[in-house]
Structure 1
Amino acid sequence: MNSHLCAYPFLKHVFRALSLACGVLAIPAAFASDYSEADLDWSFKSGLDRESFTKAFTQLTKDGFRIADIESYRLGRSNTVSTIWTKIGPKDEWRIVMSKPITEFLDAHKKHQDEGFSLVEFEADRTGATLHFSGVWLKTEEGLDTEFYFGMESLEFSNRYGEMADRGYRLVDFEAYESNGKYRHSAVWMKNDEQLEVRFYRAIPKNTFGEVAASMREAGFRLIDVEGYQYEGDFVFAGEWVRMAETQSTQFAFDLLADEFYNKNALYSNDGYRLTEFEVYEDHDVVYYAGSWMKGGRDGAPVVEKPKEKKKASSLEKFRSDR
């Protein structure tokens, strides 16, 4: 999420009010929507102001849902929140911390880890000159094995990515930002117990991202994490893909204005897809949306797709960047 779009001070007041009303923000939960391979009940709430977001939060948690992805940004003079919610498991819990300086965020991370929770999603945002982090932690019956590393420069991140792959982990959330005049990378990795095949590319030029994403889909992968960010004066994307089962189908879109995104989401939802990942970013003072949708589960009935004209295979290596 593009850092200067965030309005987390607004969310901080919301979550403080919800904490007083509901007690500790430890709520039943399920796996995050973007990397879950199963069909899930879900809901997308978009363009909410403070009052609407508080109301939606209270009602959806009461109905057995949790936040799986959250984006906060400004549209004109208004602070706006959009969220993906997914149905929860009866014995699982989740916790959320919003807009903390890195030292406080790390303290919260350790506390939640000590209580058996695993970090599965986080956001980096900037309010003025101060960088803040927000995160979601899960505790499940099966247990989750995740690791979080932050503040890495490009080479360090590349080395860490290779190390984690060798240890059997796959990336599930990635953030890129500038700190103290340097480009930094932070990420969460999850133990790849299912041995899923994954691909990750970063610093993809905007004018080639559509080709990369289309090539990955044609090769049988779905987009589970997308990040739009500024890098060395250019706007670029990073994306993590996972190979789909034959019972799954996927769609993606980017560079959509708000109304275009909402219409696209409605179209895909009516066709049986669920929104699993979305990103809000700004390029040349215009706010855009990107999203990824999935239909079908790994154990469900095969998804019937219309025959596609065979295209010449394109190499993805030309899109890979060591930056």
Structure 2
Amino acid sequence: MKHTALDIWDDLREKRLWPVAVALLLAVIAIPVIVMKPTEEAPPAVAQPATPQAQGTPAVAAADSPDSSTLGLFGKKDPFRPPAAVLKPSVSSAPDTGASKAGPSPSPPASGGAPATSGSAPAPPSGSGGSGPTGGGSAPSSSPVAKRPSTVYTYVIDMDFGRVGHVRLRRGLPRLTILPNERSPVAVLLGVSAGARRAVFLLNRSFQQGGEGTCRPSRATCTFLHLSTDPKKNGHRIVDDKGVTYVLRLRAIRRVTVREAARASRRSARASAGRGSREGNFPVFADEQR
């Protein structure tokens, strides 16, 4: 055991760890001593002796002290009773009797025998059934004015369309009409521009075209064709992929009611069915409401 302790000590000295070992040994011895030491109780507090009151000084303040309450100067009041300022308006707002509405009584006759007249005319007699309007009455309410039903409008066009040599006038064409028919479409009527000055058509860019209309975005790629009612800008020609040439010439732009446009669309559909071709007709769209 002794040799083991000496070996440990020599090892700690070589590694210069003996101060750490000494500190740990002292801590092992000191900690139990500190923990087991009893705590000192605090000495009890010494009560201060009461100072005797000065002889002749009263324990309670006198009733006539100037610092006492002066509530006795105020009169008694019921806290649940409304103030007089609130009661007066309620009394004045009570309904007047018939005698108060009767107006001022005429003054007694003068000494000459003629009754004295005042500056204002006497008020009409009061009572139920009186027909005269009172000064404070409200004006009779007027009967509500019947609202006129609004009318919905749309724009249709009249134009010449067809193959060269077979051009015919077509009236009342609504928006989204496919020309000549949905099996071989050449142009689609998209509607009218702002101000209803031009009709706008959708074209197939692969078709050849030319004429007086305005092409958008360019003449080389004419996707949208604008035709005006001006005789100098209302005509255009389209050549399809089969070499057939179609003529478009705008005649007029008209504003009609939606009901009239629907009837015209049905008539056009029946006429197309009678010719053995089905013209593309869509539901009528509203453009204005007035």
Return the TM-score normalized by structure 1: 0.17
Name the one with the larger helix percent. Answer: 1
Q: Indicate the structure (1 or 2) with the bigger Cα radius of gyration.
A: 2
Name the one with the larger strand percent. Answer: 1
